[in-house]
């Protein structure tokens, strides 16, 4: 299962009002490293299916969301729980970094 696309129009419903923890990857079409992160996030979306929802947001198309969360460069992965930002992973990291952040967010 792949990460779904989120935009400013669906942000509140998909991210802030989600009953389950949410991971959002901020990316841009011109960003090479984002493609690597994207593959990792898609894998994690499958591995954590039912426990966490994964989304991708194009930071160029929805710059106001990116600005709101002070995203200066992509890729950046944010994790949310109960509408609150919990974790930030900046840059291209090994899969374990993202998995560890997810695990921290899933802790009760």
Strands 76-81 and 22-27: antiparallel
| 54 belongs to the catalytic site | no
**Closest by Cα among 101, 52, 53 to 76:** 101
Q: Name the catalytic one among 3, 15, 31, 78.
A: 31
Q: Name the catalytic one among 34, 65, 74, 102.
A: 34
Q: Could you give the CA distance from residue 60 to residue 77 in angstroms, rounded to a whole number? A: 15
Q: Could you give the CA distance from residue 64 to residue 70 in angstroms, rounded to a whole number? A: 10
The single residue listed with the structure tokens 């899933």 is: 106
Q: Could you give the CA distance from residue 23 to residue 55 in angstroms, rounded to a whole number? A: 6
| 34 belongs to the catalytic site | yes
Question: Annotated catalytic sites, by residue?
Answer: 31, 34
């Amino acid at each position: 299962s792949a990460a779904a696309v989120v935009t400013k129009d669906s942000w509140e419903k998909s991210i802030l009002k989600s009953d389950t923890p949410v991971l959002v990857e901020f990316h841009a079409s011109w960003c090479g490293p984002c493609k690597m992160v994207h593959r990792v996030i898609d894998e994690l979306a499958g591995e954590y299916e039912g426990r966490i929802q994964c989304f991708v947001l194009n930071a160029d198309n929805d710059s106001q969301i990116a600005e709101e969360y002070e995203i200066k460069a992509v890729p950046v992965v944010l994790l949310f729980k109960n509408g609150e930002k919990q974790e930030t992973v900046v840059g291209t990291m090994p899969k374990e970094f993202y998995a560890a952040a997810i695990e921290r967010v899933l802790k009760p």
